Chain A
Amino acid sequence: MFVRLAAALAAMTLMSGAAFAESPKLTDPQIAHIAYTAGVIDINAAKQAQAKASNKDVKAFADDMVRDHEAVNKQALDLVKKLNVKPEDNDTSKALSKQAADKLAELSKLSGAAYDKAYVANEVAFHKTVDNALEKQLIPSASNAELKGLLQTGLKIFQGHEQHAEHVAAELK
């Protein structure tokens, strides 16, 4: 079972990497869309966890994710409005959303401690993937200074969440 889980995680990480590798040249409207989509994905995962998680630290973590990502996405929407940028759907956003939907379906079949573990493990992996994409692709590609600034803050938030998720994961063991 552990082997299967590890293989599934590895496959997911590889897929996420592939999602980001597909678009070499991203425009600001596309970057804004990807960053916003990453936030929405994490909110949806957290809402599932709010309903399904049993461990109180896992529930609290899910509450933190909803609160933080809703606040940041609101900031992002305010910024794109101010900059008169219309977020543009793209292959990276689509691939991310597809993977996330598959993951939600997979997690929905689990319950109890198995669900808690799988949710937190996926949070660690997902935040790592987004950190990597922000650092290596989205931030360097962004041309608008304010968008770049928001992405840089976003990177610190995602890195913070990754560490928080790692702490929760360690306590579940």
Chain B
Amino acid sequence: MQPRYLRLMVAVLAFGALAIPAHAATIQIVMENLVISPAEVSAKVGDTIEWVNKDVLAHTATANNGDFDVMLPPKKTGTLVLKKAGNIDYYCRFHPNMKAKLKVEP
């Protein structure tokens, strides 16, 4: 590869890294034995929510207001990037007794 291109690539990568807002975080929420914990999470727009399903059963993270519906197969993880602010209640469609809340700040 030409040194010129290499330099360009480094520049692009460096710019890419800078472009990611410093505050964007990944927040992990665990589903185990049909319990969502923590049951209430505070986050900011741009953060990523990562649900870890530790059960042998499939779950979902489904917003009551229809904003999202993330499938979480057994022993798998699902993610969602928060796009808008608000308090969102969500539940599992397969086990509606599993309920939790996201508090998303701008």
Contacts and interface: CB of A to CB of B under 8 A. Distances in A.
Interface stretch (B11-19, B21-29, B89-97): B89-97
Contact of B56 (A72, A152, A163): A72
Interface string A57-86: 000000010011001101100000000000
Interface of A is mostly: helix
Contacts of B93: 164
The bracket for how many chain B residues form the interface is 10 to 19
A74 B33 CA distance: 15
Given A71-B74, A167-B96, A160 B58 contact: no
Interface residues of A, number: 17
A164 B95 contact: yes
Residue among A64, A68, A159, A160 with most chain B CB within 10 A: A160
Contacts of A161: 95
Given A68-B94, A159-B97, 17 more contacts: A64-B94, A68-B57, A71-B56, A72-B57, A74-B56, A152-B33, A153-B33, A153-B34, A156-B34, A160-B92, A160-B94, A160-B95, A160-B98, A161-B95, A163-B96, A164-B95, A164-B96
Interface of A: 64, 67-68, 71-72, 74-75, 152-153, 156-157, 159-161, 163-164, 167
